[in-house]
Amino acid sequence: MRYFLLFDQNVFGFNKLRQMHRFFLKINAGINLIKHSIPGYTLRQILFVSVILTAHHTVCMAAQPVSALRPEIKRFVIHMSNQHSYDADALEEAFARTNFRPEILKLISAPATAISWDEYRKRFVNTQRIKGGLDFWNKYAAELGLARKIYGVPEEIIVAIIGVETSYGTSTGNYRIMDALTTLAFDFPRRADYFREELESYLLLAREQQFGLLDVKGSYAGAIGIPQFMPSSYRRYAVDFDHDGEINLPGSAADAIGSVGNYLKEYGWEAGKPVAVRAQARSENLQEFLDTGIEPLHPVGKLRGAGIIPLDSVSDDTLSSLLELKIQEKRQLWLGFRNFYVITRYNRSTFYAMSVFELAKAVRAARLSYTTER
């Protein structure tokens, strides 16, 4: 059991309190408290303090003096004060009210389950997401059209990313961002540096956007709002697309639309260019191309020469990657182009990018059918 994880456990006489708490647990196990009582304390006192400690097992203790903060958090506060002129007192108070969430460590450390492409695809390319995408497009057609004109990103791609990320804003996460990032920054050693940088970005974002540090909720990894931007991406790529004077990714679909468009453009989206096409192989010598990953490094002409033929028209000088997706016992081959690679900058997964691409195609088809019927 871990008590007051954000605080130094050797101050305020907590050892005595923890000792008392252990006896309370023994009561629950049916052990006679009298045999193990602590001299100088009554049974009522022991039970009272133990109940308080038990209640705080899952919720961090309320604000305590600065000296009680864990050393690494104190150093972080000093860094924010020195580097960014951050109000140290306000930050110390916020950390005193921040909760360690052990379940986040379990979620982020859980090994990825190996599933086939068709199983993964069903999660995101299905009737519910397609209908939701059509409804979202119909509602925000003007904003999506404007984003396409400004950033060159088709409406269906923006719709699909928002659909995959949060089911069009209906599932944005229930973890306080301050809790999530603090837990990961100081108790997840494997990626602690990354999450400390994101925590730093979040603190700066809160000051810039003038929202309370403890007021914003999102994913267990610290992603925020309708498009699930990490704080550093929020600061770098988010835009005030509805021109109301604030950038509000949790509450403004327009800002989310513009921000996704801007994000993809900044990562090199090529307007009017393809994302991916199916291919077939007349040779089994594919591994050298598969091994180079998802970055488009191979001219299509070189792949043709190796017996890998795109099933749609593509110029020979177009750079591409060879992608293999397995469906049950069969495989699909695809050529991924620059725009496919840009989608993977949002989430570095071939399955993710292909889900976005296929959901986008399905939503566009539904939209064309809808407008034709009208």
Q: Which alpha helices (H) appear in 292-349, and where do they start and end? A: 300-305, 338-344
Q: What angle do CA 130, 136, 137 make, to 5 degrees?
A: 90
Nearest one of 354, 314, 359 to 333, comparing CA atoms: 354
Burial group, residue 124, by CB count within 10 angstroms (0-12, 13-18, 19+): buried
Residue located via tokens 């647990």: 25
- φ, ψ for residue 86, nearest 5 deg: -75, 145
The catalytic residue positions are 165
Whether the CB-CB separation of 240 and 246 falls below 8 Å is answered with: yes
Q: Is 30 left (phi over 0), alpha (psi -120 to 50) or beta?
A: left
CA-based R_g, the chain, Å: 26
Distance CA 187, CA 180 (A): 11
Using the CB atoms, write b or e for 147-182: b if 16+ within 10 Å: bbeebbbbbbbbbbbbbbbbbbbeebbebbbbbbbb
Residue 57 to residue 251: CA distance in whole angstroms: 33
Q: Phi/psi of residue 167, each to 5°?
A: 50, 50
| Residue whose pair of structure tokens reads 């593509």 in the numeric block | 314
The candidate with the shortest Cα–Cα distance to 229, out of 215, 213, 209, 248, is 248
SS3 134: helix
